[in-house]
Amino acid sequence: MFSSLRPKVEEILLKNKETPDARMLEICQLLKDSIPHYDWVGFYFRNGEKEELLLGPYAGAPTDHTIIPFGKGICGQVALSNKNFVVPDVKAQDNYIACSINVKAEIVVPLFVGGENIGQIDIDSNTPDPFTEADEEFLEFITKAVSQIL
């Protein structure tokens, strides 16, 4: 599944006439539509010099979490740790921000430009414990590829 999506992602990123946001939105939609356990797919980016994340392009249900302080929730923790965070069961996490009562699991992978963590891709799943090492590797590919257009 992931190997067949890689060329599609690369093709989207080559659309130089499109803005980076438009291309990231298309990637979010592709992932949400193509991977059964990806129910919400979005990017968050550092909000200027502030210690907070600002919601970028996403596909899925609207969210109230358009700004997330560093350290808060899974996304806020990744902003500080610079490491992938896989949460098999969101109910088992103390520092979790609930986006929907349907979300059972989450994975967040940081996005680096010039060695600096400038954002992340965030995936919510309504399926308990769906994420594997293959998801992590694929999302690392996504963040590296997207970093080339930012």
pLDDT along the chain (150 residues), means of 10: 97 97 98 98 97 98 95 97 97 83 96 97 97 98 97
What is the predicted pLDDT for the residue at 84?
A: 98
What is the predicted pLDDT for the residue at 98?
A: 73
What is the predicted pLDDT for the residue at 63?
A: 92
Bridge partner residues of 86 (DSSP): 107
Distance in angstroms (rounded) separating the CA atoms of residues 74 and 114: 23
Q: Domain range holding 106? A: 2-147
Q: Is 110 in contact with 143 (CB distance < 8 Å)? A: yes
pTM of the shown model: 0.97
What is the predicted pLDDT for the residue at 94?
A: 83
Residue 54's CATH number: 3.30.450.40
* Neighbour-count burial for 44-80, b at 16+ CB within 10 Å, e otherwise: bbbbeeeebbebbbbbbeeeebeebebebbbbbbbbe
What is the predicted pLDDT for the residue at 99?
A: 74
How many structural domains compose the chain?
Answer: 1
What is the predicted pLDDT for the residue at 27?
A: 98
